[in-house]
Amino acid sequence: MKQTPAVAKEVPQAGAPLSGLERSALRELLIHGPKSRAEIARELGMSRASLTRVTRVLLEQGLVTDGALELRGATGRPSELLSIRPEGRKFLGVKLTSDRLFAVVTDLTARALVEYDEPLASRRVEDAVEQIGAVHERLGAEQPGVIGAGIGLAGDVVSTGRRQTVAHSPFLGWSEVPLAELVAERLGVPATAENDVRALTAAEHWFGVGAGYESMVLVTVGAGIGVGIVVDGKVVTGVNGKAGSLEHLPVDPTGPRCERGHRGCAASYLANSAIVAALRTPGLDYASVLDLARGGDPAAMQAFRDAGHALGVLVATLANTMDPEKIVVTGDGIAVAELARDELDAAVALYRRHLGVPTPLDVQPFDFAEWARAGAVLAIRDFLRF
């Protein structure tokens, strides 16, 4: 369990729901930083009257603040900048694994104010919802005023309008679960749910390593393989919530079979369980195989080399298909990029179609608190109707 102490402050009042223009202006400041009123009006095509009304509402609701004077443009006149007021709103973020719950409360800029984790008491939907409610109450005692919640979990999440349904979550054993609706009812605030990889992709795109990019791809490796995609500044979901399902991308038709019976797919080499299975030694788990590889064990090292090659094929395929500005690799199986970087780079070089164009690969270790923070970003995006 990890908790970050914080001093409770006065909670700003939420006020009336924001209009579309007000949300757009707030998004502009949140994503791109402080701007003058003239810059906001120009970016959003607002009239002077609309701009005055929008900024008045955002100031009254404690969402923005007037900043310092700064020269902006060639007029020579300093402009007063509008900035996000981080403490203007608070959000709960939750990450569910098969056996643990991770949670954070963040401010409007997705900065974690308090972190917490505990074992998942039960995989029953009702129990999980009740546990999220209890955590909300616990963290709310330290950080009152949470106005929305977001939950990330492995699986297929389908959005229909403003309703999110967990169509299938194999690690939790859930199917057709209206999780966001149930959590909203329990917490008494709006809630949203999403596939955890897409949630992390959205968080990194707005507030992390992908900030400022219009296109990026995030690949997670570990218990499973996930892919999140951003195109034209938007996270791609797909009509059935399955965009980025590339774990069974063919790598070698003569390779081992994955759990679904596919021969030589990415999952058959790259998933943590596949790396363990490659040693064909009873009683081993991923941590022990990782220790063996770092100690120079030939079989363990070969398993990671094969995994590195598979990851390189996947990265090259994504680079060829999406041509993104950045590809981020993370996850609890990220050690493959450490132990088999040569194999990873060689596979990218072999299968990359755009010869002479470097692949913008960024290997990033994220802990589960970052995944929980991604849940809070879901809630922030929901608040802004993005």
**230, part of any domain:** yes
- Which DSSP letter does residue 325 get? S
Tell me, yes or no, whether 379 and 306 share the same domain: no
Rounded-to-integer distance, Cα 100 and Cα 114, Å: 17
Residue 298: band (very low, low, confident or very high) from pLDDT cuts 50, 70, 90 = very high
Q: How far apart are CA 79 and CA 368, in angstroms?
A: 41
Q: Is residue 249, in this structure, part of any structural domain at all?
A: yes
- Residue 68: per-residue pLDDT: 66
Radius of gyration, alpha carbons of the chain:
23
Written as six digits, the tokens of 171 are 């690690």
Q: How confident is the model at residue 160 (pLDDT cuts 50, 70, 90)?
A: confident
Confidence of residue 15 (pLDDT cuts 50, 70, 90): low
1 lies in some domain: no
| CA–CA separation, 200 and 15 (whole Å) | 29
Least confident of 64-73, 245-254, 269-278, 332-341: 64-73
Q: Are 259 and 135 contained in the same domain?
A: no
In whole angstroms, give the CA distance from residue 354 to residue 90. 44
Q: Report d(CA 107, CA 105) in Å as an integer.
A: 7
The length of the chain in residues reads: 386
Give the model's confidence band at 353: pLDDT under 50 very low, under 70 low, under 90 confident, else very high: confident
Alpha-carbon distance of 308 to 221, in angstroms, equals 11
Please report which confidence band the pLDDT of residue 5 belongs to, taking 50, 70 and 90 as the band edges.
Answer: very low
193 and 334 both lie in a single domain: no
At 140 the pLDDT is 93
28, 52, 85 - which closes a domain: 85
Last residue of a domain, one of 39, 69, 85: 85
* 7 within a domain of the structure (yes/no): no
| pLDDT above 60: residue 76 | no
Place of tokens 């922030």: 380
- Rounded average pLDDT over 167-178: 94
Structure-token match 């270790």, residue found:
365
Average the pLDDT over 112-121 and give the result: 97
Question: Do residues 45 and 133 share a domain?
Answer: no
pLDDT band per the 50, 70, 90 thresholds, residue 242: confident
Strands 174-177, 225-231: pairing is unpaired
| pLDDT value of residue 124 | 97
d(CA 9, CA 144): 8
Distance CA 143, CA 137 (A): 10
Average pLDDT over residues 85-110: 96
Tokens of 321: 């298909």
CB 133 within 8 A of CB 126: no
Given a contact cutoff of 8 angstroms between Cβ atoms, the answer to whether 246 and 227 are in contact is yes
Are residues 313 and 251 part of one domain? yes
Question: Dmax over Cα atoms in the chain, in whole Å?
Answer: 73
Q: Does residue 237 belong to any structural domain of this protein?
A: yes
Please tell me the predicted confidence (pLDDT) of residue 77. 62
| Strand pairing report for 146-153 and 90-96 | parallel
Please indicate, yes or no, whether residues 122 and 160 belong to a single structural domain of this protein. yes
The CATH number of the domain holding residue 312 is 3.30.420.40
The answer as to whether 231 is a domain residue is yes
Any idea what the Cα angle at residue 208 is, between residues 191 and 65, rounded to 5°? 70
Indicate the number of domains in the chain: 3
3-state helix, strand, coil in the chain (%, to 5): 40, 25, 35
State whether 345 and 221 are in the same domain: yes
Q: Tell me, yes or no, whether 359 and 379 share the same domain.
A: no
Q: Are residues 153 and 71 in the same domain?
A: no
The C-alpha atoms of residue 146 and residue 187 are separated, in whole angstroms, by 10
Q: pLDDT > 90: what percent of the chain? A: 75
- Segment 346-365 shows an average pLDDT of 88
One domain for residues 131 and 250:
no
> Hey, how many other C-beta atoms are within 10 angstroms of the C-beta on 59?
14
**Alpha helix locations (H) across the chain?**
20-32, 37-44, 48-60, 125-142, 179-187, 196-207, 266-270, 272-277, 286-294, 298-322, 335-339, 341-351, 368-383
Half-sphere exposure of 147 (CA within 13 A, CB side): 18
Q: Which of 42-51, 281-290, 302-311, 339-348 has the lowest mean pLDDT?
A: 42-51
Q: Of the residues 70, 85, 100, which one is the last residue of a structural domain?
A: 85
Which structural domain range is residue 326 located in? 211-363
* Domain presence at residue 4: no
Percent of the chain surpassing pLDDT 70: 93
Pair 298, 353 in one domain: yes
- Listing from the earlier edge strand, what are the strands of the sheet with 112-119? 112-119, 100-106, 90-96, 146-153, 191-195
* Residue 94: per-residue pLDDT: 98
Count of alpha carbons within 13 angstroms of residue 223, beta-carbon side? 10
On whether both 220 and 358 belong to a single domain, the answer is yes
pLDDT at 78: 66
The reply to whether 134 falls in a domain is: yes
- Check whether 8 has a pLDDT greater than 50: no
At 70 the pLDDT is: 59
Look up the CATH number of the domain holding residue 67: 1.10.10.10
